[in-house]
Chains A and B, each alone.
Chain A
Amino acid sequence: MILSLSLAFASPVSDALAARDGVDCMSLGDSSAALRDELLGLTDPAILPSSVPMRAASCLAERFGTDSVVQDAIVAWSTDSERQGLAMAALMRVDLLGEPGAVRVIQAALSSPLPRVATKAREMVPGSIHPAVRGLAAP
């Protein structure tokens, strides 16, 4: 039996995010508050398959990284054990958050009690395009 898609998981955006071999975030449509909010909704950890919330987080960083609403969400994920994978996905695109946003998110992640998040933040610091982020490297 083929399970039907839930209402919360039946949009073209969510379908695109489910592809097994990857998706181009730019293919999801024009940048708009509506797309941002839809992507934020798709970061719900309960949504299956697991690629949907992960790709939503990644596309949020890529498409809306300088938006304070998105940065607030990433900071919150970095200390939430149920959303630490989202934080890691966003951290991989931290340079797209703009320098002030990147510094804010990296600082939050570096001080996270979640080892995977803190480790990912430490990995991202040395190679950042932003001098202020590279300046956060431990001496």
Chain B
Amino acid sequence: MMRYVLATTGLSLLACTGTTSDAENCGGDVQVETMSLQSDRQGIVSIPLSLDSDDAVFQVVVENSGDGYVSTDGLVNPDGESILDWEDWYESHDSLTDAFYADASATTLNWPVRESDPGLSEGEWTLYASTLSDDFYYEGRRDVDVTILRRSCTGSAMKLKATIAYAGDLENDRDVVSATEAAVARWTSIYASHGIELSTEFISSDIKASLPSPSTGNAAYGTLYDEVGEGVLLVVGEDVDGASDVYGVAGGIPGPQVATEHSVVAVSWLVHAGANASFSDSEIDLYGETMAHEIGHFLGLYHPVEIGWNYWDALSDTDDCSSAKSCESALATNLMFPYPVCGNVGCTSQFDLSNAQVGVLGLNIGVR
């Protein structure tokens, strides 16, 4: 059966370790719960979510233990009402979450996504996910590892912990370190202008400077995230995926904030430094905007419009423009615009976020 046909669901609890623990605080707590489950004969996994009355946000990360893919199908509240259904979004020209797309070994749903989405309530919720084969057919009896993160605060004072890891021995490259620190300052300033206080830490790592794509995934990213433990992890390398033509790649929209092969944002210093491999001030600004942009993806933001001008984010206050000219006119200064808009003497600064975009960031499990 292909991914496009939703099979009958069935409970498939195999084991629940129940390892609940307190993580970073937010005036409240982040609760972490892990469980091992198995998909039913049709390839559906039913994940029980026991929510407390003060839970405001959750993030569920489902990882396929073996080969193949996993995706999120839907969410049902304690009254049995469908709150989220992948079939409502899969062919939509508005994008809400990558969780529906079976293109990785892990799927991440952060809910609510938008401030306009139905909020959480106390009781027994159920999240449905699918296990699929390498050729995207439902595949039953597959083991999955599930991590549930819950937090109770609503983000009135938004804080985000970010770790910046140098790959290879870039921490010894003075030019790269100097430019990266200045770019992180630019990123910090952009987020601060939208009410998000960024706390940053710089570390070195054993990952090679030619970075694997977080989208494809790599075990080294899971290991590194495990060492960091929480927040967002940005890895600075020379190139991403051997291409040397990509500014940066996020491990998902949203990305998982538990240790998986996809739990990072990767950025290339070289592409930002450009043809002469040396940073100008404007290239450092662009470098910082890329960090803010890619972490924006990791926290759940899409481009307000995709190149092609016929796919948009699912937010009500970002323009649904339909041509390059109209989109640049409406959105060129938006942080999440798909490309920098440049002229003869420089590029337009991209730091704006709409209220709904800031709302998405504030509802991410890592912003607290």
Contact = CB atoms under 8 A, between A and B. Distances in A.
B347 interface: yes
Nearest to A14: B342
A53 B338 contact: no
Interface in B235-285: 238-239, 242-249, 270-278, 282-283
Interface stretch (B15-23, B68-76, B324-332): B324-332
Interface string A2-22: 111110010000011111111
A81 interface: yes
Interface size class of A (residues with CB under 8 A): 35 or more
B335 to A, nearest CB: 10
A85 B275 contact: yes
A73 interface: no
B245 A88 contact: no
Nearest to B247: A20
Nearest to B330: A2
Contact of B272 (A23, A50, A84, A92): A50
Nearest to A43: B275
Contacts of A84: 275-277
Nearest to B240: A22
A105 interface: no
Interface stretch (A30-38, A54-62, A130-138): A54-62
A19 B338 contact: yes
A122 B167 CA distance: 18
A126 interface: no
Interface in B287-309: 290, 293, 307
B249 A45 contact: no
A48 B343 CA distance: 7
Contact of B343 (A4, A19, A22, A44): A4
Contacts of A3: 341-348
B339 interface: yes
Contact of B245 (A4, A48, A54, A123): A54
B346 A48 contact: yes
A82 B275 contact: yes
How would you classify the secondary structure of chain A's contact residues: helix, strand, loop or mixed?
loop
A21 B283 CA distance: 16
Given A2-B329, A86-B275, A48 B270 contact: no
B231 interface: no
B342 A85 contact: no
Task: Pick the most buried of B243, B273, B286, B348: most chain A CB atoms within 10 A of its CB.
Answer: B243
A83 B273 CA distance: 11
A2 B341 contact: yes
B243 A58 contact: yes
B362 interface: no
Nearest to B274: A50
A13 to B, nearest CB: 13
B270 A2 contact: no
Nearest to B289: A20
A18 B339 contact: yes
B245 A22 contact: yes
A21 B246 contact: yes
A45 B270 contact: no
Nearest to B342: A48
B112 interface: no
Interface of A: 1-6, 9, 15-23, 43-45, 48-51, 53-55, 57-59, 81-86, 88-89, 92, 116, 123
Interface of B: 210, 238-239, 242-249, 270-278, 282-283, 286, 290, 293, 307, 324, 328-329, 332-333, 338-348
29 contacts: A1-B348, A2-B328, A2-B332, A2-B333, A3-B346, A3-B347, A3-B348, A9-B342, A20-B338, A22-B245, A43-B275, A45-B275, A48-B342, A49-B342, A50-B272, A50-B274, A50-B275, A50-B286, A51-B247, A51-B271, A51-B274, A55-B271, A58-B243, A82-B276, A83-B275, A85-B275, A88-B238, A89-B271, A92-B242
Given A22-B247, A85-B270, A88-B244, 10 more contacts: A1-B348, A5-B342, A18-B339, A20-B247, A20-B290, A22-B249, A50-B271, A53-B274, A58-B245, A88-B238
